Structure 1
């Protein structure tokens, strides 16, 4: 009987040690999980901050772009620096093209910072490009856009090109229904 009691004690001791070991392992795993959760939360915060920083950078770049265009629109001598159009234009037409550039760039920026979806972008472009001066600007800067291969801006430019082609070929006066249907862009 003493041998049985001794065996039982050893078994209990081993079980207790095993339980202690298991409890320790669970505690360590819980601490590691807590640490991993904290790291994931920090990474999510950093990613969000990075996204916010990218949006802030885009907004600042947009502001600087507008300031430069405003100076060029107001001063014909400065506007000559930006005159990279494929056709010769008058001072008035150059100012109009610069403003058209500002309109398009503004839509592009809104899209890039997430203030509008691609479908909304195309709807706005569809309306903006009803103006013949904006279309002239677009066609006069075609070679400049051709150099933007492999970028999001190039991809959007190709969508605009396709939309304009569809608008030109449409046999309806209802321009707001012409083009890439929402959800297919």
Structure 2
């Protein structure tokens, strides 16, 4: 009988040892899981950063190409005719001025999109640009082009903001143009 008791006691010890091993293994698996979750989160964050950097790089390349094309058109009246899609007929000189106004506006739009300008800064710079009569003419001459933009795009929203600013500038006292308007978007 003494042997039997010893066997039961040995079985209890084995069960306890097995439970201890399982508890240790589960704790190890839980620690690994936390580590894997942490690594997954870090990897997702890095992927987002790479995508963000890639988007900025694409925007920079597009901006550079846009400027190259506009520069060629500004330098060549024959090429500028290809871009004559304004609401009203424009002389070669006016067309070149409009193309340059487009380059200035597009540059501000690009800076806003990559985060180098806040909405308020964009608004302030556009407000300054609109003090130039050629830029105002350009803005009105390209109304039809902006009407084709997707309603929810950044460019369409900012265009509506500029349209609203122009109305406010026309209604305001011209002597303090730098304080006119608020950068709101519908």
Gaps of at least 5 residues in structure 2 are none
8 Å CA contact retained: 2:112, 2:118? yes
**In structure 2, how many angstroms separate the alpha carbons of the residues matched to 1:143 and 1:178?**
25
1:22 aligned residue: 23
How far off its partner does 1:149 sit?
Answer: 2.3
1:159 to 141, 161, 183: 161
Q: How does 1:69-148 map to 2 (within 5 A)?
A: 69-148=70-149
What TM-score does the superposition give when structure 1 sets the normalisation length?
Answer: 0.90
Alignment root-mean-square deviation, CA: 2.2
- State the Cα deviation string for residues 20-71 of structure 1 (Å, max 9, x = none): 2121011012112222222222221121111101100000000000000000
Gaps of at least 5 residues in structure 1 are none
**In structure 2, how many angstroms separate the alpha carbons of the residues matched to 1:2 and 1:175?**
103
**In structure 2, how many angstroms separate the alpha carbons of the residues matched to 1:13 and 1:138?**
85
Report the 3-state secondary structure (helix = DSSP H, G, I; strand = E; otherwise coil) of the residue aligned with 2:74: helix
What TM-score does the superposition give when structure 2 sets the normalisation length?
Answer: 0.89
How far off its partner does 1:10 sit?
Answer: 4.8
**In structure 2, how many angstroms separate the alpha carbons of the residues matched to 1:2 and 1:156?**
90
Q: Relative to structure 2, which stretch is displaced further, 92-101 or 14-23?
A: 14-23
How far off its partner does 1:14 sit?
Answer: 3.2
Q: How does 1:14-53 map to 2 (within 5 A)?
A: 14-53=15-54
Q: What is the count of residue pairs matched by the alignment?
A: 184
